[in-house]
Structure 1
């Protein structure tokens, strides 16, 4: 049986392997490629469109149940590096 998750940006369901797990750590959004970091995670398609949509709508704070604005810079840099390769 394949694990299925929902993208927090576009709300489409996809296999866990097709999505990127994101966690909040010290006010920053970090990619959790191996899905082993502690804490609550949010799943997003590893595309610029879904990431931009999620950041613009502020869904990461809600999905991760943290208050305040989270810095998406490290996640955006990681995703840009991943798309360039």
Structure 2
């Protein structure tokens, strides 16, 4: 179900609202980074950023901050949100966001 933020003037749809898998806060999709799971040769799945929001497959949304990335990794939220088994590799996100947590 797509949820939209209604503007105060006229009730028109302004933009989509999504939930961050790290902190679980709902915010505008424009403020979040979309991520998708891709199969990797060695470790099963890797979580990769989709800044243009064009990659196929199920996506998850994340604030592009080290805090939210760390929370999502600790809670193992990527596996549930992206519906993949195992512990997906988040090295690409660590590099993009600048996190030091694994």
Using the size of structure 2 for normalisation, the TM-score is 0.76
Aligned length: 80
Residue in 1 aligned with 2:24? 11
Give unmatched runs, 5+ long, in structure 1.
81-85
Of the three residues 57, 69, 91, the one matched with 1:39 is 57
Greater percentage in helix:
1
Using the size of structure 1 for normalisation, the TM-score is 0.90
What displacement does 1:78 show?
Answer: 1.6
What displacement does 1:5 show?
Answer: 0.5
> Could you tell me how far apart the structure 2 residues matched to 1:10 and 1:69 are?
19
Residue in 2 aligned with 1:70? 88
Large movers: runs of 4+ above 4 Å: none
**Per-residue CA shift, 1:5-28, capped at 9, x if unaligned?**
010111111111100001111111
RMSD: 0.7
**Per-residue CA shift, 1:28-63, capped at 9, x if unaligned?**
110000111000000010000000000011000000
What displacement does 1:75 show?
Answer: 1.1
Residue in 1 aligned with 2:73? 55
Give unmatched runs, 5+ long, in structure 2.
1-13, 40-44
> Could you tell me how far apart the structure 2 residues matched to 1:17 and 1:61 are?
23
Higher relative contact order (CA 8 A, sep 6+): 1
